[in-house]
Amino acid sequence: MQFTSRMAALLGRMRRERNGVVADTMYCYGHPCGLNYGVSLPTVRQIAKEEGTDYCYARYLWQQDVRELRLAALHIADPEQLVREELAFWAAGIINEELAEEAAFALLRRLSFFAELFESWIVAPQPLLRYAVLMAAARNSRLSAAWIVPALGALSMEGCEDKAVLRMMTRGVVAVLVAIGDQNEENREAVRCAVGSLGSFPAAESIHEELAWRLDLS
């Protein structure tokens, strides 16, 4: 089946699940897609799962300015077929917080070269790429205590003077620190030391409060 006809069929399924009220009340940092049917994430994921994996088709869907198609593309793409040279293509489509989170959950965390991706995106000038790689790192099987310092460094980079960006980045950093600290006592202590040396800046208090109860750090 041609990609256009497959996409039309997929879009038809999404339309049947649309919720205009939800679409009208959605808000997340970044730019909205041109079309948004308000389909819930669990429903998008289920529909995408039924499509199976097809990397070329996923690339085609990712280029469409439709929220549900971009979200589905992240699940239809086969992580094993995504090569380093393709990262810029996927990065360009991460235009808002929701897409960053879903990219982290469905695709980025599964990449075999994730450690390289982390090193690259954690210092990216685009806050959404830093946020995406933080959320992916928190779920990555090769999670490392070596990521603590770079993660915290992401809070002082470009864009964090914006309160919405800073809140988003803080969530990402906390997710990584909690995941690292949960691994073992040595990592928990490493997180404690790193956070203890944060000093005073807008996100520091939020990070201290979150970790105090989630990792029992005082």
Domain boundaries, the chain: 1-95, 113-218
Q: What tens digit of pLDDT does each residue of 180-194 get? A: 999 999 999 999 999
H or E stretch covering 129 = helix 127-137
Phi/psi of residue 200, nearest 5 degrees: -115, 115
Whether 218 has a pLDDT exceeding 80, the answer reads no
Q: What tens digit of pLDDT does each residue of 104-142 get? A: 999 999 999 999 999 999 999 999 999 999 999 999 999
Q: What tens digit of pLDDT does each residue of 152-176 get? A: 999 888 778 888 999 999 999 999 9
63-67, 77-81, 171-175, 197-201: which has the minimum mean pLDDT? 197-201
DSSP bridge pairs for 136: none
Instruction: Write the DSSP assignment of 53-118 as a string of letters.
Output: --HHHHHHHHTSSBHHHHHHHHHHS-GGG--GGGHHHHHHT--BHHHHHHHHHHTGGG-TTHHHHH
Contact 210, 174 (CB under 8 A): yes
Dist CA 89 CA 40 (whole Å): 25
